[in-house]
């Protein structure tokens, strides 16, 4: 991989903020194949239920989190002196710097976007679910979720709604406790760590001060070092999503130090602009940016970075792909 160039501010996209779209409640997550015309028997009935039909377990996430979060809003001081530009956000509590960078040339070019985030209150890095609902197969475009939560910055999350396992803690609330893989834990005091989900419980993590978890992976960087063997990791064993190898669009979350995070989206599948990154290439980007810990989130057509009203990267689908969750910083944080 070529050496990383100095990040530059993203140029004008000429795009307007995306319109609020009508949510489609019946979709399939297996290579876009439509199965709604199949007879609802046998395998097709299972596929419809598992990958298409919404299963809502909590219909008002905001109210649920207000009642059950391990951290109360009173602990966070209101921000003052808020300023937003094309490439930066500053307030009395938070600073964000947006940049675009490229490595390589020609067909070997990799283009990616970075958001360098420093917060005085780590709970400002929040999660939001599509349609303010929790369950499986509930999706919306990241820009819609971000706008509904007054986000200034957002990236796609781990697509929790595609799977039914893992440890899922969001905004101090336990949603799922079925450890199966390597996870990422973000603490309310501004720390972060990768951990083995099978060696703990969601309640133990809450008791230790965890604010958010992500369950996708693999971990890319730990102790500032690029981890080995990550190009061969299988995140899921359910059909249709066995591997995430090769040069792909990517989304990653990195931790530099207390309250200091790096959010990175790599574009891909567009020769001459960005071919995408392998897992090891993504890890090297994160390590070169100073991350002590970095973790891979959902990628491919889901990879998206939202900034001040619009998606600023170029999703490989030609537009945003609906997903189940985002991580974001709100205006006024």
pLDDT digits 0-9 by tens, 95-121: 999 999 999 999 999 999 999 999 999
Domain range summary for the chain, segments of one domain joined by +: 56-330
In terms of phi and psi (left: phi > 0; alpha: psi -120 to 50; beta: otherwise), the region of 11 is beta
Q: Estimate the share of the chain in helix, then strand, then coil, as percent rounded to the nearest 5.
A: 20, 35, 45
Residue among 156, 111, 107 nearest 11 (CA):
111
In angstroms, the CA 95 to CA 84 distance is 10
Virtual CA dihedral for 326, 331, 332, 333, nearest 10 degrees?
30
SS (H, E, C) 178-222: ECCCEEEEEECCCCEEEEEHHHCCHHHHHHCCEEEEECCCCEEEE
Q: What is the pLDDT at residue 180?
A: 95
Nearest to 297 by CA among 131, 137, 127, 151: 127
Would you say residue 20 has pLDDT above 60?
no
pTM for the model stands at 0.85
Residue 197 confidence (pLDDT) above 50: yes
Q: Are 290 and 261 a contacting pair, CB within 8 Å?
A: no
C-beta separation of 101 from 87 below 8 A? no
The confidence score (pLDDT) of residue 74 equals 56
Mean pLDDT of the chain: 86
Residue 28 scores a pLDDT above 90: no
Whole-number Å distance between alpha carbons of 318 and 320: 7
What is the structure's pLDDT at 243?
57
pLDDT in tens, 115-164: 999 999 999 999 999 999 999 999 999 999 999 999 999 999 999 999 89
DSSP class per residue in 109-136: -EEEEEEEEEESSGGGSEEEEGGG-EEE
Lowest mean pLDDT among 67-76, 157-166, 211-220: 67-76
Rg (CA), the chain: 19
Please, is 155 exposed, middle or buried when counting C-beta atoms within 10 Å of its C-beta (0-12, 13-18, 19+)?
Answer: buried
Residue 148: CB atoms within 10 A of its CB come to 16
**Range from 43-47, 197-201, 326-330 carrying the lowest mean pLDDT:** 43-47
| Terminal CA-CA length for the chain | 37
Query: What are the residues facing 129 on neighbouring strands?
Result: 325
Determine the distance from the C-alpha atom of residue 329 to the mean position of all C-alpha atoms in its chain, rounded to a whole number. 12
The C-alpha atoms of residue 84 and residue 77 are separated, in whole angstroms, by 19
The pLDDT of 273-289, averaged and rounded, is 98
């Amino acid at each position: 991989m070529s050496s990383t160039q100095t990040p530059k501010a993203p140029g004008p996209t000429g795009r307007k903020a995306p319109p609020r779209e009508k949510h489609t409640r019946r979709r399939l997550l297996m290579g876009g194949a439509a199965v709604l015309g199949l007879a609802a028997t046998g395998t097709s009935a299972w596929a419809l239920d598992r990958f298409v039909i919404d299963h809502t377990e909590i219909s008002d996430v905001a109210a649920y989190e207000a009642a059950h979060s391990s951290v109360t809003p009173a602990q966070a001081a209101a921000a003052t002196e808020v300023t937003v530009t094309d490439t930066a956000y500053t307030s009395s509590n938070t600073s964000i710097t947006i940049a675009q960078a490229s490595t390589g040339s020609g067909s070997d070019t990799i283009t990616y976007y970075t958001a360098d985030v420093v917060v005085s209150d780590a709970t400002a890095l929040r999660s939001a679910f599509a349609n303010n609902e929790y369950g499986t197969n509930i999706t919306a475009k990241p820009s819609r979720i971000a706008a509904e939560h007054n986000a200034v910055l957002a990236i796609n999350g781990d697509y929790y709604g595609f799977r039914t396992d893992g440890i899922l803690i969001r905004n101090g609330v336990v949603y799922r406790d079925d450890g199966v893989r390597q996870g990422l834990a973000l603490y309310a005091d501004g720390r972060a760590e990768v951990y083995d989900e099978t060696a703990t419980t969601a309640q133990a993590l809450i008791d230790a001060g965890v604010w958010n978890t992500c369950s996708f992976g693999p971990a890319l960087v730990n102790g500032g070092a690029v981890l080995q063997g990550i190009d061969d990791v299988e995140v899921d064993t359910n059909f249709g999503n066995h591997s995430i190898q090769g040069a792909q669009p990517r989304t990653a979350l990195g931790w530099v130090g207390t309250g200091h995070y790096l959010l990175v989206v790599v574009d891909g599948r567009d020769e001459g602009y960005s071919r995408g990154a392998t897992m090891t290439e993504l890890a090297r980007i994160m390590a070169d940016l100073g991350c002590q810990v970095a973790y891979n989130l959902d990628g491919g057509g889901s990879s998206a970075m939202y900034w001040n009203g619009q998606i600023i990267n170029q999703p490989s689908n030609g537009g945003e792909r609906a997903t189940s969750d985002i991580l974001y910083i709100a205006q006024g944080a």
